[in-house]
């Protein structure tokens, strides 16, 4: 089956720094990728939809200047958390939508801890 990877799997950073998370579709092309955030013991909340070659579409309440998304190729999307704060600590999960037949696959997630 199709595989989506995320890197890093875990990251610890200090307040005020930026951290980049990569999401890759390993064996298929993905015109659309999605970024979710999951707080402890809570559900996945969609943050933004990323389309290759165009600007991401952010969900209501998500700061686009804080969570920078770049989808530069059909197999890679990146999420950069800028000026991170402890409240940004969360589990970030990406998913990639296959061009054909349109299936969506999830990455293993990235645990971000901001100290």
Partner 1 sequence: AQSVTQLDSHVSVSEGTPVLLRCNYSSSYSPSLFWYVQHPNKGLQLLLKYTSAATLVKGINGFEAEFKKSETSFHLTKPSAHMSDAAEYFCAVNTGGFKTIFGAGTRLFVKA
Nearest to 91, CA basis, from 74, 63, 113, 60: 113
Contacts with partner 1 by CB under 8 A lie at 6, 32, 34, 42-46, 49, 91, 93, 95, 97, 104, 106-109, 111
Assign 76 to helix, strand or coil.
Answer: strand
Question: Helix H segments across 1-115?
Answer: none
Supply the minimum distance, in Å, between the C-beta of residue 27 and partner 1: 16
> 34 vs 67, which CB is nearer to partner 1?
34
> 19 vs 33, which CB is nearer to partner 1?
33
């Amino acid at each position: 089956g199709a595989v989506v990877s995320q890197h890093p799997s875990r990251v610890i950073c200090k307040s005020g720094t930026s951290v980049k998370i990569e999401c890759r579709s390993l064996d298929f092309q993905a015109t659309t990728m999605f970024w979710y955030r999951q707080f402890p013991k809570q559900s996945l909340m969609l943050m933004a939809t990323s389309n290759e070659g165009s600007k991401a579409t952010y969900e209501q309440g998500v700061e686009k200047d804080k969570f920078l998304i770049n989808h530069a190729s059909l197999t890679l999307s990146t999420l950069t958390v800028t000026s991170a704060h402890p409240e940004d600590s969360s589990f970030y999960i990406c998913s990639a939508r296959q061009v054909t037949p349109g299936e969506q696959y999830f990455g293993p997630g990235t645990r971000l801890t901001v100290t």
